[in-house]
Homo-oligomer: A and B are copies of this chain.
């Protein structure tokens, strides 16, 4: 086989991530590679840590990006905090709660499951019961923003309850970070991970994490070695440091250029301001919602727990949903997401994440969806969506 250089099409990314990457971030990505122990690079690492503290709203010293995707960030939290025999209360209301269960069990822990229907938030009453019934539980883990459904859970309340039972918390903020309020210190969360390819609008492949002092102490005082060498925080800390400076020990070669990109994404976030970013995501969600509802389509998640950045829309009856997505991609270069697992064929997931959360994308998405569904003979109100969104955008 002879391969030629690859030139991707220019898509509009409105699925569950990756989102559209800001041009400034793509440009930063392509700056000259330097060494991972270069003092200039180490200086940039310090800035990335400080900027991530801002994004997570935390003073945690141990705040840094894992050199791998969000699922490795998740695994870093579980592999470091769960020791064989530990009991973990795992809340599951979508795909990622299930992945948490896998993580607990593969670390030799016991998962006590608190299950809620997909599309619902985690039921705090059930969690209260589980905490009561399992006084020996070491950790409570839950997903703040379920990417598989678009439902948001009450992180502040869940963390408060866990603290009341002297439980550590592991919180998934992959889809929420910088799209809706994530307040690690105010919540009192202990181990929190996220991804770069959602509301930070950065390229996929890196996972920001933050650990409280309680979590850090638990890791330092483990009775057993962390089962993963690559994800062992006791080793990773030597490279990223948790003291705000000092000597760096080689652990692995950091992904230099993707870290340039993350740095730029965080500089952009700082320029906009977190509160403004949250407000923009909310505003864009309302415009999309106006269009979706004007078309006659409906949302899968109740309004009270609906994430602005991930919109699960119920697929109208009699429509081949995969065909809709193919046409959107081929005719309009527009990507929206399919349902995962039991949600396959039931919902589309329309992302309004980071740089993708803008008026042009919303009009593109609504116009294209309207055109494709009309062309396929779906029972919708053609031509209503775009004007409704425009009215909302003002």
Contact = CB atoms under 8 A, between A and B. Distances in A.
Contacts of A184: none
Contact of A8 (B4, B7, B40): B40
Contact of A253 (B17, B27, B38, B79): B17
Given A38-B335, A230-B75, A253-B204, A7 B21 contact: no
A296 interface: no
Nearest to A32: B10
Q: Is the interface of A mostly helix, strand, loop or mixed?
A: loop
A371 interface: no
Tally of this chain's copies = 2
Interface stretch (A44-52, A119-127, A137-145): A44-52
Contact of A250 (B38, B266, B340): B340
Interface string A336-356: 000010000000000000000
Contact of A228 (B6, B7, B34, B75): B75
A41 interface: yes
Interface string A226-265: 1111100000000000000000001111111110110110
Interface stretch (A66-74, A150-158, A304-312, A361-369): A66-74
Contacts of A256: 18, 203-205
A230 B228 CA distance: 11
A190 interface: no
A165 interface: no
A103 interface: yes
A15 interface: yes
A234 to B, nearest CB: 12
Nearest to A203: B257
14 contacts: A4-B267, A5-B28, A6-B263, A8-B33, A18-B34, A26-B30, A29-B29, A33-B204, A68-B68, A68-B230, A69-B230, A69-B252, A205-B253, A205-B258
Interface of A: 1-11, 13, 15, 17-18, 20-21, 24, 26-36, 38-41, 44, 47, 50-51, 67-72, 74-75, 79, 99, 102-103, 105-107, 195, 197, 203-205, 225-230, 250-258, 260-261, 263-264, 266-267, 270, 329, 335, 340
Q: Nearest 5 A-B pairs (CB), nearest first?
A: A205-B255, A30-B30, A68-B68, A71-B252, A204-B253
